Every structure is written in structure tokens, then in C-alpha cells.
Structure 1
């Protein structure tokens, strides 16, 4: 789409503004910039939707500057609200010269602004004020700003897509209604990346009023490919692929978590000699800004980032985006890949490096949906009561008294609250009155004893977070800490990684803010995550993955049709071949394939365990809720607890109690229906509810977790007392909105009852290959292994894990050589390069410092009892390696497996499956008895 020359826009821009733009290097304006200038003359509310690099900032600023020049407006003429502080500085740097050219001032005001600068801005406000949603809350009630706010003609809201399904968006929507009471002729321009439903986003900003949406007319061209899988167990192979793309520079590598970004950044720097920088929200602003500057100047090869670079920070030209692992959401993939390419007319290229087989399938589905513009829907919070309570306090602070009728009218103009009933508002007001935030009588609301302190302490809707201590049960020592919100994702049976070790979660004590753990038998586990870092897979994506599996099964006999499917989804040949084989084996085992058109359940009795796996395809949040409800129903029917696990495609229950297919069918229908009927009671038992309750209680002025953690037992008493209150109601609503997908589960049950998804229960000796894909997800895989279920998929996982473990080899014969190696690389080091001996002791890498003990032994010096024990251990392990070779190294790499145990294992057989099973059992025994051993 060609731009329009500035000289041809004299009907939309003043001559002086045209000349000013020309001095800054502008020659043309593009489609959305011209349309914005036109629409701003006729509409009060405008939403501009376009990909990254479309010039949305100029499209919003130019109408403001044009009106400012025309009217000679008084400060504060416009406010620019961005949800990210880093964007505030970026906008300021890009626009300050344009404003100053015409004698106007621009300033930034947010939480990090020094007090001296705040005072200066309050005393002499600028024409153009850049701020955040939270700081806007303080400006509305600040007497120093009150008169200046009456001058406001424009509000620009950036990154609307980030606010749409967030409580910050609901808060801003009500804040804009409050601002309109002060400045009735307010005009609003919203800026957003591509959205599924832009008109909902417009209504978030405009309330009941009209407006228009300006969308980029030409479809942005994306080219997204999926890398071949290769060796699924080899992380280094995947990072090497990333490195190959980074060598030519100009690459942004996106990861889904901050710890992954740090890991990849470290490997690329130290192992591949690349000059890269890491960029995420837990780094200081100075670190992030330096990374942005170095990338923009072309002085680094790549920048490794999380969602911190999805937003519109200007980092210059990127030729390619590499996504490490599935992006989980099409809308995220579009935003990330859209950062590649210098302009909208240039093709944006992206590469996804999948981490395992279903990761590749999921990535292919997401890439196809991204290119076709089939994005996830984003819905605003509906009636968030903690947001409403804070805004009520703000209105009371502003006007000192407001009638119930007026309050209800103002509040229900906002999209998130348009369906709020008068009774719901009155109930909330009565509750706020009972805790001293307001006074409410005779239909009028006035200030209470806590109005001021409550409003200022609860202005941010970003969840407060503090950490749990992680305590080892055996020694009672604190080994580290976890983010508070992480507690909603863990429970007994989960595995976490901390300090380089895997830990089995034995108990999560929400009241005492402690997680009790024991060291786990393997290296699988879930690394701690920072707040807000999990990305759910949408149910429509899960259904399309199910559909793809079904279509593969339906075309197994036609190589031509299968090739069409492969090309349609852009799956690399080897990954697609593995997928076809997996579907074929599942089809052979079941006679059908799990899909979006059935409810296929696998029932497996394995020694003293029962496995129930439901192929449900409800997405992350839907399956989170389904797993939770089914586990509760299973317990109700059997009297025995069931561990539950889920991924976006299936749900797994593990119990010691077996139920026959008929009873299982009853649990799936009647049990699920019963639990949905009493959903609130069930949800109150979840960790997710406990977390949301804490946040809501904080935002509604019940507790102050910014100052200190709640004392043990305090939260329990508070929760019991507040059941049935607005705090409890909002905690339940927020739990469902943030963690669960109630609609998916309700529709799932309806489809079963109507026969649209008939239940098919198959009793098997082992889970099918498609079911075993649940073990690819670290959180689920860890929980199942911890339950001592040696399914074939787990055995293969154990083999891969040990093969990728490291050991220290030491030549007992000459004592002149030692080397830390990966177990799988033993064939490269099967004999000493110095003397040729195969008598190699197998030690732990951390035991390298103990080599000096072996040197003392070789010099025939006196040894202590412990030193003699270590020498004997080394000699025995070398003897085993001499006799068995690789199998001995494999077994000795097991956690807690010494020479005596290894000898016993090796005597039972040396097939890889037998070794893995026996190592697993030995590791389990070691873990159970470890606390009695002297370290």
C-alpha cells in the first residue's frame, strides 16, 4: 500500500505541521495515519488496529498535534497511557522533538518518576503527559491536577490488546468514565496489535458510546516455518539450531519463560561465542535499554527475549524471529514474528524450533492459524468487584459524596460492568461500609475512615507477589524460594527444579508460606516461573490438533492425502512421519483414534495403580478444570484420592483404586455434572482459589500483603468469615477466569449427553502412544514418574534422561586422566587416552575435588575412614566398567546408585529397558531411605 505524499494532505494538516514533519524526514503518511486524521474529525472514539511497524504511534499523535496547534490548547491537552513503562520512554524519545518544534512540552510521569520531577510536573504540567494506567489513578484524585484535567481533549491508550483481558483494562475503562465527568468532550484513540474482535476492544475504551475501528487493509505477509525435530532429548541440538540462525545477526529469539531466555542466552554466549543480550521483565530497565540500543545499532547478533519485546519498543530492524518452543497462542506468534521485517510491506519471517513431537504439531497448527488470521478471542473481565471497589473509593475521593443512582449510571457505562445489577452494587457498597472504606446511607455514598489509605494502597491491579520458602523435609533447611503465584500450579506429587536439583513437593502450606520437599529420584521437573509467565493453549487450537490427528487416521491408506495434510500444516517430513506412525499405532491399539468427535478414555491397571486417561481436547484451561473436577468426583465415588494431571489435549488420573468401565462412565457424566452443580464449593478447595483470594483480599483492603505475609492461620480464618461476601465471589470468579475454562467443560458434558461426543472406554495393558504424549510435558511427566508407574513411555524418558546425564570418568590404572562426559558419549571415551586402560571409575561431576584423595591413595599416604570408603567406591565402579562397559556407566549415572547396587542391577540383565526399570526402582529406594543416611 503506497503512502500519501504530505503535500497532498493540506486538507488534513496545517502547512506548518507538514513542514515540521518534512524536517524530521517524513515524506508520506500511510493508510492508517491518513484514516486517523480523517476519522478524528468525526468520531469521539477510535481504535487503530495494525501489526508492529505500521506507524500506529504517528497515527495517534498527529491528530492530537494538529488540534493542539489549531486551538493553542492549555496543559494538560493530551494524556498518553501505556501499560509498559519501557514504552513510555520510547514514545517520549520518538515524539518529544515534534512537540518541542511547535513550542509544546511533553513529560513522563509514572511510579519510578523522582519526587522532584513529580513536583515540577504538578506545578507546571506539560501539554502532552505520558503515563501508566496506575499513575492515572493518582492523577484523577490529585487536587493539583484537577483544574488541568478539565483541559484534556485527547487520551491515547497504547497496547490495548495487553489490557483487554486484564483487570488493568477494566480499571482503565472505569477511570476513563471518571475522566469524562471532568472533561465531557474527551476524545480517545486506542492502539492495538491485531485482534480477533476489535470492536470489543473499542467498547472497552468507549463504553456505551459509538466510535470507529481503523484496520490495516492489506494483510501482513508472514512466512513461518517449523524446524525438524531431530533428537528430541538433545537440548544442545535445539540450541545449535538457534545459533545457526543467529550467526548472521539481526535475530530476535523469543522464549516463553524468563529462565529459558537466560539459559539460551548463556549457552549462545559461552558455547557458540555469539554476542547476544537477554531481555525480560525481571531485568533492570538499564539492562533492557542497553540490549535494545545494542540491537538497534547492530552491535549484537541476537536478542533473547520473552513477551517483554512483543510490545512496541523500537529496536530497529530484525531480519528474522526464532521462536524457541511452541508459542502456545496464534496471537502471540503474530505479534512476535511481526517484529521481523522493516516495514509492513516486507514479509515477516519466523522459525519455530519445537521441543518435542506434540510441540511440533501444536506449533504447526498455530502457524497455520496465524497466517490465516485465525486468532484467539480476548474477552474482558466481567464485573471484577475488586476493581469496582477501588473505583468507587476514587469517585468518593473526587466528589466527597455521590448518589447511588449517579454511581450506578457511571459504573454501568463501562463495558466490564454494563451487566452489573443494582443489587450487586448495593451488596458491594454494604461490604465496603462494613470495613470502613466508605459510608453508605440514605442512598448516598460518602468518605469513610479508610477511603484515602485504601485508594492509594490498592491502585495497582497487578497481583502482588511474595515468595514461599522451600524447605527440605529431612533436614528442615531452606533451599530457596518460589514465587507466591507459582503455588497455584503446584501440589503434592508435582516436581520442581531448584538449585539445579529436582524436588518432590510433599506439602504446600499456603498459610505458612512454605513448600515442603524431598529430593526427587530423577532430573525431570518444572522450573519455577515468574508471575504471569504461563501461556494457555486455546480450546480451538486443541480441537484443531485433535482434528489433525483424526484426518491423519482417516487417510492412513493414502500417501497423497497425507502429503497434502503435511503441506497444509507445514510440518517437516520427519516430524510428520513420526506423527503418522504414532497415530497408526494408536489406531491399531484402539480401533479408532481420539478426536474432537468422541470422548475416548483409556483405562490401565498397572500393578497397584490405576490410570484413567481422557482424550478431551479442551485446551489448557478447560483441561485444568476437567482434571480437577474429575479427580474430586473420582474420590467421591471410590473413597480414594486420585492425582490429576493435564495438558491441552488430555487429562490423566492416577489412583490406587480401580473402577470398572461402567462406574467410570458414571463418574465422567453424573460425577462431573454433580461437581459442576456445586462448582463454588469445589473451587474453594483449589490452590488457585487460595491465590486469587489473597490477591482479591489485598485489592479490597482486607489484608496488606505489600507490607508482610499473612501469618499462618490468619488467611484460613479470614476465608471462613468471608464466604458469601463480595471478596469470596470475586475470588471464585477470578479463579475461573484466570485458571479455568468453565464454558469448555460445560459444553464437553453437554456434547457427551447429546451423543455428539460419545464415551468410548478401552481397558488396556498400557497407555497408547498418543496418550503417552502427556509424558512429554515436564510437569506431567514428573508427577507420573514420582508415582512409580513404569509405563513404556516413561521408561524411554528415563533412558533419555540418564543418557543426557553427566559423569566424571577417572582412570584408575594411571591416574593421569579424568574427564566429565555425557553418558551417551561414553563410546568416545571408553578407554584412557593416556594409557589405553578401560578401568575407568565412574564418579559424580561434583566429586572432581575428591580426585586428590585418589592421588593420596596412589602415593600410599594414610587415608581416613571416609577417604578409604571413597577409594573403594572408585575401584569397584572401575571394575564394573571393565566388565560391562557402557551398561555399567549407564547404571552408575542413576541418582544414588553406588557400585554395590549397580552390580546387583547389572546381574539382572543389560537390555536398556531392564536397566532403566531397575535403575528407577533403585532410585526410588534411595529416595525413601536417604534421610536416614549420613551425608
Structure 2
């Protein structure tokens, strides 16, 4: 190959490569002559701004973050200087020299073709690795090791952990290029990749160069550090000029349309200029738009989202490049830089969640440096219009959201530790800790936390100690991560390598038959026992939700009045900046700094502003802002208007939910939006809740408890528990539970301090304005009330109650006070535990107070002998005989026995011998007077056979106590 390269080089030098000029020629001359020749062969007449800035810094050996809009040639800006250096290097035999990492499998095929054009002409092989690559192609890489490997974080994880024979070829890596870096930074996939890069460095001993490519980044310095890790190279941040020329329009629907979505689709159809890319915020809406457009006669269309098979997505992308499709309806899957050919126009069905997403989406049109990017937003109401205007205005101001970067995600740490030992080696804990701490997300990881995670995994059997300071894979690992068909509580082995979260589904079961499946977030957030849902065209009432086994038991019903609509989730997260801009426009009007919104849309925005503002003006109510809260009392619900942003609103909403549920039980709820929160409670007002929270001094402690009643905690625990080796219930004192709480709190507070908010309310720094009663609801409140109600979610509290009762007996009131739950909930739970299960409970009478006390069946014998309760199980012999009436099942005939109290133990033994079952539905004990009359009786329910002797003795002791009290 060396001779071939020399020949290419001579040929390139002999030719007059004058396709570039001026500064571009000067920069290109830094490249290897063979690469210069290909630049001209490609037909380039100039470099793009990002190429002019990035190429010199990459050739200088810096770690580089290169930022530019889509279509500016970022891939070539990274690739050409790397190829130039590869042509000049002395290869160390077979191995991978360039590792090109992309977050999206769909990008790999496009990138492979794009990179191969350059690499193959220079004599380099290009390989690709992801889950959908055919097995034959994967095996081929062993025979012909690619110098350039294009892969995903997950596939790199597999190769480093599991590819025993191929792993060694990564030891030659000299360059790592990470594409679409904004999709990874701050996520668990990003933390995973940051650790993998440090593991790669540790394995190879090479201080490879790191090149990051991104279209949009809100905090470039921090992003550049995130993936530079332990590298000592200089960091250069280069920007490829400003954004392309942008032009937006906002399209509203006819207010008379009864179905807003259908009205939106009609307007969308009028706005299409083929080829058009339509973005939606959910897969459900994408499919509905396709169906509606198809009915209107559109033919050359396709839907592109994560539920569409990769083969079909690739086919759609290919047809788009060929110009054979006029309209593609997509979710985030086409936000990134997949080459889909020329896009004339982008239409967004409803505004996206963030400014960065708006920019990414509109950037897909005009896919070259000089073209104008055109984007239209279909708004279904005035709120949509103003949210769209807020996003566009922020973009015009140059604002981009900064990514939230999770620190020390312990589930990622746990997986990376296990990934290391999957190699089949005994690994030193000191080595693992040292290498992982070099990754930016784990730079502050303390040894005590690291050791705690190790201990948790050893306890759960997925790791085991092989020496005093070394570990190896535990025997339980393959019970959780299985090669064969997974159980409901286990995972497939391939899932171990990925942090791409997929929805976990609850099976909906009627008897022994599965009637459907429901998304876990829908279940945790919306559904509760007693609700009615529609599945498969039939109505079903929920009788039980089994969180551990992910099963919902239902029974058929005809009651449609209480039906809960199927949740169409996936709504985008809106930042606090969007909420603040929204209210700022209501106060100060719409003043956009840049001419990027057409005049008709400006008038539309001004009209929507006037309609919403007029409610505040007419009722003489201040417009919410950072220092003003407005509270509306709408009867069944109260609404608090404030520019929270989604994350802070969720945190405050969970606090409200916790305090209301503590006072009223489970029949309360909140609605959470970036512009305000509503609380639905019968007897707990917002003012009562605010008074209880006070200055926010203890808000962190309250928030921890509030999360235990929120659906979000159950979702998070399910997400991370397998990483630590838990398959079923996760104890509250475990590392997993604490980590789930920590991750949620840090995320929810990433845009604003909840404590500061309540401190401001308490001090008067944030003023509260209460709207007079009988004032009609504001347009904003009406919108808030249209969102789904989030209700409290209690994990099955049997475990918590059993833990509290262990070794003792308590009343319902005592348990309720200890757990800060309504007595009715505790009473119902204890009655449920009385019927059986792993934490079987039983009740008995306290002879001193007359109250019912509850204890675990397994503790009843010890409690009957304890100093505190011994008297509750001792007879004084007041009555000669007692009668025991037993019902083995509800509605069955009584079986009666008479016992002499002087021979009580023998009498009980005789009854036990004659019992036909181990369970007694009802035990009723009556004293028999000297005249042979049955006096007042006492009844016990759901009594297991082993508890029967103690229950009879308790009944006699209590009856005797009552008879001497009169």
C-alpha cells in the first residue's frame, strides 16, 4: 500500500491542483497532497467556514470542538486532517486508527458511504459496527481489520467488554471523532462513552486526539471538557460562522374546528412545498397526520420514527435522497444529520420543546451553506402561537439551552464496573476507580460511594470478590441479563450494553388472558385501582396494579363515565427560559431582534398576545413573572401561574401532591405545565400548602418524602435497578433507591432552586396575587386544566408497613402517623395483608385500651409473651366455657366448638386437629355464662391456622376484661 500512496502523492504533486484559492488554498496546502487532489476531484471551489477553522487546529494536535449548522461539512472538517496524518504515520500493523462514534445507528450507513469516498481512494478500509449490521459483515472485520471504524457507544461497549478476539485492534486508536455530540453530552449514554474513552486509553496507553462535532451546543467549554477527560492536549473550540439565514412562519387553525388535530392537518396540507419534512412531538401524532393526509389524497409520503423498522427507515432515507418522496413525517429521528437530500421546507406540527430543537429542525431545510432554511410551525391555539413566538424570539437573541450534565450516575458506574469484569479477568478495584475517575462525569466520585456500589452488587450476586482487592463476575449476573427469552423481571443480555431507555410495558390481564399492554409511564402517572380504561374496543375496570411483576388485573365493565383516556405522552420538555419569554411578551409585547418571522405571523402573534393579555387587563390582575405569582381558585381546582419551566414545575407539583395526599389520601392530583400548576383537592387549599412549606428551609427533606408518592420515583427505580442486580422489590435503604431520588432531584432542580422559590414567596420577594372568586378562568388556566391529572403513586407499602411492625404491635393510627399516610389507606392495606402474602398481618385486641392492634403473624407468638402485651393473651378463668364459631369461607355454615377455659390449650389443640383447612375466614368467640347463655362475642377475620391459638386467647382475655369493667 505504501507504493500506491507514493504514486498517488507524486501524481497529485504533478497536477496543478488549483480548485481553491486565497485563504482556502493556504489551509488546504496543510493537508497531504493526496487529500488535496481528492478535494479538487470532489469539485469543491471553496472550504466552508468550519473547515477553515477546524483543519489547522486538528493538524496542530488539539482536542477540538467544532460547531456549525447542518450542511456545513463538519464531517470533512474532521476527516481530512486526520486522513492526512494517517498517510504520514508509520502503522503498527493491523488495527483501528480512527474511531468515529455517532449516537444514532441511522447515521452510520450514511456516514460510511460519505467517509468511504475519501478513505477508499487513499487505500484505507472503513468498517461499521452496530446492532443491525449483518453477521457476515461483522465476521469480515476479523479478516480485514478496518483502519476506520464507525460505531455507536453501545457497540463500542460490546467490543470492549465482550469481543475477546477483536478487542485488541482498538489498542492502536489515535483519533476519536464524536459526531452530533450535543445528543450525548449530559446523558447516561454520554457518561457511558466518557468512561469507555478512559478505558480505551487505559487499554492502549495511547493519548489519542479527541474531535467533537456538533450543530448546536449551549455551553461549549463544558461540552469540550466532558469528552476530553484525562487528555492533556490543548482544547480548541471553533465555530463555523453564524447560523444560516432562517425564515419562520406560524400557521394557526380555524377556531371553529371541533378536532384541533384535524384542523392542524388541513393547514399543514396547505403549507407543504415538496420535498417537505414534517416534525411532530410524538409517534402517535406522526401516525395520525399520515393517516389524515392519506385521506386527502397525498400519495408520496412516509413516516419515520423509532418504532419503524430500521430497514424501512433506511429505505425511506434512500427514497428521499432520490427525490421520490414529497412528504416525510418524523419525530426526533431526522433531527440529526442523516443525509436525506434536498429539503425545501420544514413544518413543525406544534412547537418543539426547546430552542436547540427548533434550530436543529429548521436547519434540515436548505441543506447547504448558502440556502435559506424555511420553517413553519402549525399552532393549534393561542398558547401554541405564543410558545412558538417565544422559541423564535429566543433563537433570534442567540439563546440556546445549556445541557444538564448528570454527575456521578451510579447506574452507569455499576454497568461499567461489570463491563470491565465481563472480559473474564480478576480486576483490581484500585484500577477501576482510578480509570473511571478520569472521566469528566465521575471526576468527583468518592471512594466511599464507589465501595458502596461494589458492596451492593456483591450482595446481589452480580459481582463477587476474588481477593481482598479484586472482583470478578458473580453467579447471578446471567439470571438478570439472559441470553434466552427474558422473564418479566429480567433483561436480555444485549440490553446490558445500552442506556437507550425503552418504555417498559405493563401486561393487562383479565383472569389468565392478556388483553393488552400499557406504557409504564402512563400507568405510573395516570392510572390507579378502580379506574376504567378502554383496550381492544372494550371497557375494563382496574382491580390491581402489580408493580413488581408489571401486571394490571382488570375485569370487564360497562361504566364508561369514569373512563381514563389513553395517554398520548412524549410531550417535549420546555425550559424555564421559554416560560419566562412567554410571560415577558404578555407584559412588554412582541419585539423580535431579527427579521426571521414573516409579517403575517407577527400579526398573528400580536393578536394572540392581545387575546390572552386582555383577561389580565380586564380583571386588573398582574401578569406573572419571576417576582409575581397569580393564584386562581376555580372551584374543584386551584391554579398557580408562574414561569416555572417544566422541570421546576414538576418539582413543585410533587411537593403540592405530597402535602395534599398526606391530608386527604389518594384522591388528589396535580397538573404540571411550564406556565403553571393546578392542584385538585377537596379540603386543602394552595394557601394551606404554601403555609406548611413556609420558607422552604426543609424543602429538601420534604421533597425526598414527596418523591416516594410520585410516579416519577417508581419509573426511575425501574430504570436503574437491574444495573445493581435487583430484579424485584428494591428496599428504600438500598443504594438504588437513594440514587433514584438523587438523580430525580438534581434533574428537577437543574433550572431553578425550589427552595429559593418558596423562600421568595415567604419573604415577599415573590408577590402572590389571588384572583377574586367567581372570576372566569384565564386562557392559560384553561390550557393547564386540559392536561392529564397526575395522582399520587404509592409503591406497594406492604414492605414498609411490615418493616415498621416487625417485632411489635401497633394501631392503625400509630402506623399512619409514622408513615404520614391517611388512616384509611393504612387500614385498607393491613386488611389486604391480613389475607396473605409475604408480609402476613393479624389483628388482636389491646385489653388495656380496647383498640385493635396489628402485628405480623410470624411475630405473634413472641408478642404474646412480651411484657408489653402478655396480658392481652392471658385468661383469668372468669368464664368456665367459651364457644368458638368458625367459618372457613364467606357465606359458609358455622362450625361450633365449646372449650373449657380450665383446659384451654387442650381444647384449642382439639379444634386444630378437626380443622379442614389452614385458613379460617371468621373466628367468633363468645363466653358461655353460668346459666348457659351466649354473651357478647368478638370476631376476627382471615386467621391462619398457626395464629388461631393466640387469637382465641386474646378473645378470652379481652372479653374477661370487658366483663369486669362494668
When normalised by structure 1's length, the TM-score is 0.74
Are residue 102 (structure 1) and residue 122 (structure 2) matched? Answer: yes
Give the conservation status (yes or no) of the 8 Å contact 1:526–1:779.
no
Look up the SS of the partner of 1:322 in the other structure.
strand
Give the conservation status (yes or no) of the 8 Å contact 2:456–2:724.
no
Give the conservation status (yes or no) of the 8 Å contact 2:230–2:438.
yes
Give the conservation status (yes or no) of the 8 Å contact 2:396–2:592.
no
* C-alpha spacing 1:567/1:128, structure 2 compared with 1 (3 Å): closer
- What is aligned with 1:305? 330
1:494 positional shift: 8.8
1:292 positional shift: 1.6
Look up the SS of the partner of 1:144 in the other structure.
coil
- What is aligned with 1:873? none
**1:657 alignment partner, one of 660, 683, 699:** 683
1:450 positional shift: 4.3
1:293 positional shift: 2.0
The structure number with the bigger radius of gyration is: 2
Are residue 595 (structure 1) and residue 625 (structure 2) matched? Answer: yes
- What is aligned with 1:163? 184
1:307 positional shift: 0.5
1:221 positional shift: 2.2
- What is aligned with 1:621? 647
5+ residue gaps, structure 1, are 553-559, 704-714, 784-935
Mapping of residues 525-924 of structure 1, within 5 Å: 525-529=565-569, 533-551=570-588, 572-574=602-604, 576-589=606-619, 591-605=621-635, 610-637=636-663, 641-657=667-683, 659=685, 663-667=688-692, 669=694, 674=698, 676-703=700-727, 715=728, 718-720=729-731, 723-736=732-745, 743-765=752-774, 767-775=776-784, 777-779=786-788
Question: Could you tell me how far apart the structure 2 residues matched to 1:566 and 1:524 are?
Answer: 42
Corresponding pairs, count: 748
Give the conservation status (yes or no) of the 8 Å contact 2:54–2:238.
yes
* C-alpha spacing 1:456/1:562, structure 2 compared with 1 (3 Å): closer
- What is aligned with 2:172? 151
Look up the SS of the partner of 2:407 in the other structure.
coil
Are residue 363 (structure 1) and residue 388 (structure 2) matched? Answer: yes
Look up the SS of the partner of 1:53 in the other structure.
coil
1:372 positional shift: 2.6
Question: Could you tell me how far apart the structure 1 residues matched to 2:416 and 2:790 are?
Answer: 45
Deviations 1:202-245 (A, max 9, x none): 11210144411111123332212211343264433321221122
Question: Could you tell me how far apart the structure 2 residues matched to 1:450 and 1:733 are?
Answer: 29
Question: Could you tell me how far apart the structure 1 residues matched to 2:698 and 2:666 are?
Answer: 18
* C-alpha spacing 1:525/1:94, structure 2 compared with 1 (3 Å): same
* C-alpha spacing 1:563/1:604, structure 2 compared with 1 (3 Å): farther
**2:40 alignment partner, one of 4, 9, 22:** 22
1:646 positional shift: 1.5
- What is aligned with 1:487? 523
* C-alpha spacing 1:423/1:564, structure 2 compared with 1 (3 Å): closer
* C-alpha spacing 1:159/1:430, structure 2 compared with 1 (3 Å): same
* C-alpha spacing 1:398/1:362, structure 2 compared with 1 (3 Å): same
When normalised by structure 2's length, the TM-score is 0.71
- What is aligned with 2:58? 40
1:513 positional shift: 2.5
* C-alpha spacing 1:4/1:95, structure 2 compared with 1 (3 Å): farther
Look up the SS of the partner of 2:117 in the other structure.
helix
* C-alpha spacing 1:304/1:753, structure 2 compared with 1 (3 Å): same
Are residue 393 (structure 1) and residue 418 (structure 2) matched? Answer: yes
Question: Could you tell me how far apart the structure 1 residues matched to 2:791 and 2:536 are?
Answer: 17
Question: Could you tell me how far apart the structure 1 residues matched to 2:658 and 2:86 are?
Answer: 62
- What is aligned with 2:87? 69
1:755 positional shift: 2.3
- What is aligned with 1:912? none
Question: Could you tell me how far apart the structure 1 residues matched to 2:610 and 2:536 are?
Answer: 39
- What is aligned with 1:213? 237
* C-alpha spacing 1:601/1:7, structure 2 compared with 1 (3 Å): closer
- Worse-superposed segment, 490-499 or 73-82: 490-499
Question: Could you tell me how far apart the structure 1 residues matched to 2:752 and 2:129 are?
Answer: 41
- Worse-superposed segment, 166-175 or 340-349: 340-349
Look up the SS of the partner of 1:249 in the other structure.
coil
Question: Could you tell me how far apart the structure 1 residues matched to 2:191 and 2:756 are?
Answer: 27
Look up the SS of the partner of 1:227 in the other structure.
strand
1:282 positional shift: 0.8
- What is aligned with 2:251? 227
Give the conservation status (yes or no) of the 8 Å contact 1:542–1:649.
yes
1:147 positional shift: 3.1
- What is aligned with 2:69? 51
**1:244 alignment partner, one of 260, 270, 273:** 270
Give the conservation status (yes or no) of the 8 Å contact 2:634–2:777.
no
- What is aligned with 1:845? none
- What is aligned with 1:709? none
Question: Could you tell me how far apart the structure 2 residues matched to 1:565 and 1:508 are?
Answer: 54
Deviations 1:246-290 (A, max 9, x none): 2x3121111111111111112212213342111111111221122
- What is aligned with 2:210? 188
Question: Could you tell me how far apart the structure 1 residues matched to 2:176 and 2:238 are?
Answer: 17
Are residue 334 (structure 1) and residue 359 (structure 2) matched? Answer: yes
Deviations 1:364-418 (A, max 9, x none): 1011112332111102221111111121233345593454444333222211111
- Worse-superposed segment, 486-495 or 379-388: 486-495
- What is aligned with 2:497? 459
Question: Could you tell me how far apart the structure 2 residues matched to 1:600 and 1:335 are?
Answer: 35
1:701 positional shift: 2.8
Look up the SS of the partner of 1:382 in the other structure.
coil
Question: Could you tell me how far apart the structure 2 residues matched to 1:145 and 1:688 are?
Answer: 41
Give the conservation status (yes or no) of the 8 Å contact 1:495–1:782.
no
* C-alpha spacing 1:263/1:494, structure 2 compared with 1 (3 Å): farther
Question: Could you tell me how far apart the structure 2 residues matched to 1:690 and 1:109 are?
Answer: 34
- What is aligned with 2:859? none
Give the conservation status (yes or no) of the 8 Å contact 1:496–1:528.
no
Give the conservation status (yes or no) of the 8 Å contact 1:228–1:575.
no
Give the conservation status (yes or no) of the 8 Å contact 1:252–1:321.
yes
Structure in which a larger fraction of residues adopt helix:
1
- What is aligned with 2:291? 266
1:178 positional shift: 0.7
Look up the SS of the partner of 1:315 in the other structure.
coil
* C-alpha spacing 1:480/1:400, structure 2 compared with 1 (3 Å): closer
Question: Could you tell me how far apart the structure 2 residues matched to 1:447 and 1:10 are?
Answer: 51
Question: Could you tell me how far apart the structure 2 residues matched to 1:367 and 1:124 are?
Answer: 50
Look up the SS of the partner of 2:744 in the other structure.
helix
Question: Could you tell me how far apart the structure 2 residues matched to 1:581 and 1:695 are?
Answer: 43
Give the conservation status (yes or no) of the 8 Å contact 1:6–1:27.
no
Give the conservation status (yes or no) of the 8 Å contact 2:544–2:552.
yes
Give the conservation status (yes or no) of the 8 Å contact 1:340–1:348.
yes
CA RMSD of aligned residues (A): 3.5
- Worse-superposed segment, 587-596 or 217-226: 587-596
5+ residue gaps, structure 2, are 1-19, 482-492, 793-966
Mapping of residues 272-421 of structure 1, within 5 Å: 272-397=297-422, 400-421=425-446
* C-alpha spacing 1:109/1:539, structure 2 compared with 1 (3 Å): same
Look up the SS of the partner of 1:601 in the other structure.
strand
Look up the SS of the partner of 2:165 in the other structure.
helix
* C-alpha spacing 1:38/1:503, structure 2 compared with 1 (3 Å): farther
Question: Could you tell me how far apart the structure 1 residues matched to 2:263 and 2:537 are?
Answer: 21
